[in-house]
Amino acid sequence: MKMMGKMKEVQARIKEAQDNLVNVTATGESGGGMVKATANGKRQLIALEIDPALLKGDDKIVLQDLVVAAVNKAMEDVEIQAREELRKKTEGLLPNIPGLDLGGMMG
């Protein structure tokens, strides 16, 4: 019965961590900061800033590349932060099992 109680606690802590991922954010930049993308731990793009100087040119492809690079950087960084947040919330509840990946629990 003790094991069931432990599992319920683990489930509750994981749910809490998943719910909190919306508050974990990271910003990726490209073009020397001319494009900034911010994503949250739920892997949602929540902000995109583009320097007005980039909008004056006719080089649509450069702008597209900069946006993609900034978004990809933000997504990479927020995934690392989200994994760390999940690890902290479940620390001590789960045994240290080599190869155990909690990444699929990130929402």
pLDDT one-digit tens code per residue, 26-67: 999 999 999 999 999 999 999 999 999 998 878 899 999 999
pTM of the model: 0.77
What Cα–Cα distance (Å) separates residue 47 from each residue in 6, 7, 30, 36?
Answer: 39, 37, 14, 8
Structure tokens at 84: 């760390």
103: Cβ contacts below 8 Å, ≥ 6 apart? 79, 83
Query: ∠ CA 53-59-64 to the nearest 5 degrees?
Result: 85
